[in-house]
Amino acid sequence: MKKLNVANYLLENKIKPSYQRKRIYEYLLEHRNHPNVNVIYDALIDEIPSLSKTTIYNTLKLFVQKNIVEEITIEGNEIRYDLYNPNSHGHFRCDICKNIYDIDLDEEKKDEIADLKGFKVQKAYYHFKGVCKECLEKQKKKT
Amino acid sequence: MKKLNVANYLLENKIKPSYQRKRIYEYLLEHRNHPNVNVIYDALIDEIPSLSKTTIYNTLKLFVQKNIVEEITIEGNEIRYDLYNPNSHGHFRCDICKNIYDIDLDEEKKDEIADLKGFKVQKAYYHFKGVCKECLEKQKKKT
DNA sequence: ATTCTTGCAAATCATTTGCACTTTA
DNA sequence: TAAAGTGCAAATGATTTGCAAGAAT
């Protein structure tokens, strides 16, 4: 049932649903943890031993072009990925555990926050860094 | 006069003002264009032929540690730098000319935009991408 | 003389590219 | 069987690391 849905969804977006593409999309669907290419690779390599990182790069680039996935560049050295999410939201990166969390944004304030006179804005990103709840609690316990 | 100021400023921040460090800091002071390491290297290599990129990396890392410079990770593949600026502001990256512009933010809305319950936020970044005024006008002319 | 700074060369890491093999319609 | 998809191996580009030579106190 689920596999059928993903295949259809890809087809609707003019993407041929190869096995690799389906599994990569399903990974993103089931793990909303903003993975990078290595995380996806490690997760799928046992199941698809022939899988190469090139294919993951190719696939994600295709997904981004077709607007069903978006890139998150919250860290300087790597690109992370998530399903395309039309609801505006921000990202919080924990300095300790490196996890990235989705953050709800106030729709109105978001649009009024910046004075972008003359510039044509296509995308807006709201990134926060600090320490997440879990890591804060772990720190407390140590003391 | 200016050189003396920079040297003193570095000393105040517990940084020994070597020639390279002074010139790199002065570059950032005089060019508020959010350069990456290569841009700084190209700008200084004629004047300091022995300069290496390693030194620029070392120096910028030191400046960031000492909180007089900040990193801007608006693009996935490179780190750009700017003087540390305590006034909250955002960045706009033009997809055409790749320039990065500072953007004024509404102080109040900025703080109320996100519901970060339980998370300890240390830094917030507001990034916008699109087409800048100049490039928009160039596009119009072509038509 | 000891410590700090510089910078070369090599290593690393994420990503891209060229190309040949395989799969699929 | 032509077109599309995959994946190996090499290339690229940004950044880091190890280390030796040079400068400063």
Q: Which conformational region is residue B99 in: left (phi greater than 0), alpha (psi within -120 to 50 degrees), or beta? A: beta
Residue B1 Cα, gap to closest chain A Cα (Å): 36
Q: What distance in Å separates the CA atoms of residue A5 and residue A143, rounded to the nearest whole number?
A: 50
Average per-residue pLDDT in chain A?
91
A114 and B122 within 8 Å at the Cβ level: the answer is no
A132 and B109 within 8 Å at the Cβ level: the answer is no
Q: Amino acid letter at A114?
A: A
Tell me: pLDDT of A140 over 60. Answer: yes
Higher pLDDT, A108 or A17: A17
Q: What distance in Å separates the CA atoms of residue A44 and residue B12, rounded to the nearest whole number?
A: 52
Place of tokens 């290297």: B41
Tell me: pLDDT of B4 over 80. Answer: no
Q: Residue B1: its pLDDT value, please?
A: 52
Q: Residue A88: its pLDDT value, please?
A: 78
Place of tokens 């070597």: B18
Q: Lowest-pLDDT range, A9-13, B2-6, B31-35?
A: B2-6
Tell me: pLDDT of B115 over 90. Answer: no
Q: What distance in Å separates the CA atoms of residue A28 and residue A24, rounded to the nearest whole number?
A: 7
pLDDT cut 90: percent of chain B above it = 70
DSSP strand pairing (A89-94 vs A120-131): parallel
* Domains of chain A from N-terminus onward: 3-82 (1.10.10.10), 85-142 (3.30.1490.190)
Question: CA A47 → CA A32, A42, B125, distances in Å?
Answer: 20, 10, 38
Q: Are B125 and A125 in contact (CB under 8 A)?
A: yes
pLDDT digits (tens, 9 = 90+) for B23-61: 999 999 999 999 999 999 999 999 999 999 999 999 999
Tell me: pLDDT of A123 over 60. Answer: yes
Q: What is the mean pLDDT of residues B67-87?
A: 91
Planar angle of CA B134, B140, B143, nearest 5 degrees: 150
Q: Which tokens is B79 given?
A: 């780190």
Q: Which residue is nearest to nucleotide D17 (CA to C1')?
A: B54
pLDDT digits (tens, 9 = 90+) for A83-114: 998 887 899 999 888 889 999 998 887 888 88
Q: How far in angstroms lies nucleotide D6's C1' from the CA of residue A82?
A: 23
Q: How far in angstroms lies nucleotide C15's C1' from the CA of residue B118?
A: 35
Average per-residue pLDDT in chain B?
91
- Residues in chain B whose Cβ is within 8 Å of chain A: 71, 73-76, 78-79, 90, 92, 94-95, 101, 103-106, 109-110, 112-116, 118-133, 136
Q: Residue B25: its pLDDT value, please?
A: 98
Q: Which tokens is A45 given?
A: 């390599």
Q: Are B131 and A143 in contact (CB under 8 A)?
A: no
Compute, in degrees rounded to 10, the torsion defined by CA atoms A35, A36, A38, A43: 20
Q: Are A103 and B118 in contact (CB under 8 A)?
A: no
